[in-house]
Amino acid sequence: QVQLVESGGGLVQPGGSLRLSCAASGSILRIGTMGWYRQAPGKQRELVATISSGGTANYAEAVTGRFTISRENAKNTVYLQMNSLKSEDTAVYYCNAAIQIGGRSWFVAYWGQGTQVTVSS
C-alpha cells in the first residue's frame, strides 16, 4: 500500500506563515503530479495548488502570490509554503499524488489524511 502522511498544520495568526509537508511511502516506482487541496467547514473540497513531475506549478486564484508549492523527489515529498495567511485559508488541507506502483504501468491518485490549518487571532 501507498501512504501519504501530512504534517505541519496548526494554529497561526493572520498574516503568519506555515509550511505543510506530505511524504509518500510504499512500493513507489514514480510519482507524477502532486498537489494540495483544502476543505473548509460547509464547503466543497477545492484545489489549492499542483506541481508536475517536471516542476511546473499551478495555483488557485485565491492563493496566488501567497502560497508556494514545491517538491523534493528524492524524498517523495511535496511541500506547501503558506505566507500572508488569512482567516479564509482555514481548512483541512489534503495532499494528493499520482503514483505509479512498482510492477504496474498506470498511475493511481492517492490522498493524505488531511491536516488542520487554522488562521485566527
pLDDT over threshold 90, residue 112: yes
Q: What is the C-alpha to C-alpha distance for residues 117 and 92, in angstroms, rounded to an integer?
A: 6
Q: What is the C-alpha to C-alpha distance for residues 121 and 119, in angstroms, rounded to an integer?
A: 7
Residue 1 binned pLDDT confidence (cut-offs 50, 70, 90): confident
How high is the pLDDT of residue 93? 98
Q: What confidence tens digit (pLDDT) does each residue in 33-72 have?
A: 999 999 999 999 999 999 999 999 999 999 999 999 999 9
Q: What is the C-alpha to C-alpha distance for residues 63 and 90, in angstroms, rounded to an integer?
A: 12
Q: Nearest to residue 39, comparing CAs of 116, 115, 95, 91?
A: 91
Give 105's DSSP letter. S
What the block records as the C-alpha cell of 86 is 488569512
The CA-based angle 72-75-81, given to 5 degrees, is 40
How high is the pLDDT of residue 53? 95
Q: What confidence tens digit (pLDDT) does each residue in 71-102 have?
A: 999 999 999 999 999 999 999 999 999 999 98
How high is the pLDDT of residue 103? 87
How high is the pLDDT of residue 99? 97
CB-CB contact of 110 with 30 (8 Å): no
Q: What is the C-alpha to C-alpha distance for residues 63 and 85, in angstroms, rounded to an integer?
A: 9
Q: Which helix (H) or strand (E) holds 7?
A: strand 3-7
How high is the pLDDT of residue 29? 94
